Amino acid sequence: MSQLLILGAGGQGKVLAEVAEASGNWNSIAFLDDRHATLNGTLRWPVLDGVRHANRFISSYSHAIVAVGDSTMRLGWLTMLASSGFEIPRLAHPTAWISPSARLGAGCVVMANATVQADTMIGQGSIINTGASVDHDCRIGDGVHVCPGVSLGGDVHVGNGSWLGIGCSVIQGIHIGGRVTVGAGAAVISDIADGLTVVGVPARGISGGLE
């Protein structure tokens, strides 16, 4: 049993706290958030201080993780926490299925009813959200957000910092670049170059086509 500090006390932070509680692996959970003066007392967990003061709590909280939507900020804060001496955990809800052969980077979160299948690799600080399905041999980069209800076929590659919107589907063998945004409900059937935003069925670039 250990102590967990969560950076960010918004909606994602509350979900992470409940995932941590459900796992039964933590005897103390608290937040850091720059809105601590107004948030403390409004949640079931204490909001101790602002994010920049994280290193003050290294003696009382052994582990820390980040709950913010912006992938650049999330990865930056994870680096800061690790350099301060915190252990960076991987969190998974008890209802999630994670293959024993899958590998998850530090700071990854797998939400309720999500699935991560055989020989998949997920980079640090990535989110596999509620009910998402990641099939065998996928390669998910750092800071990726796989939103609720997303379905990825086998051997899909997703570059760093990409956002796969709610309910989108990606057929097997597709390569999605870094910093890509896939719109909610899109069907991806062709590779996507870095930095594009794609929407629709089949998915097409808003300001340009697919590769």
Q: Could you tell me the domains of the chain?
A: 2-89 (3.40.50.20), 91-211 (2.160.10.10)
* Amino acid in the structure at residue 100: P
Among 139, 23, 10, smallest CA distance to 73 is for 10
Position 145 scores a pLDDT of: 98
Position 1 scores a pLDDT of: 55
CB 197 within 8 A of CB 177: no
Can you give the pTM of this predicted structure?
0.94
Position 210 scores a pLDDT of: 40
Question: Residues in the chain with pLDDT < 50?
Answer: 208-211
Catalytic residue, candidates 63, 136, 145, 157? 136
CB 4 within 8 A of CB 23: no
Instruction: Give CA angle at 140 (139, 145), nearest 5°.
Output: 160
Is residue 63 part of the annotated active site? The answer reads: no
* Cα separation, 58 vs 204, whole angstroms: 47
Bridge partners of residue 157, in order along the sequence: 139, 175
Position 136 scores a pLDDT of: 98
Position 209 scores a pLDDT of: 42
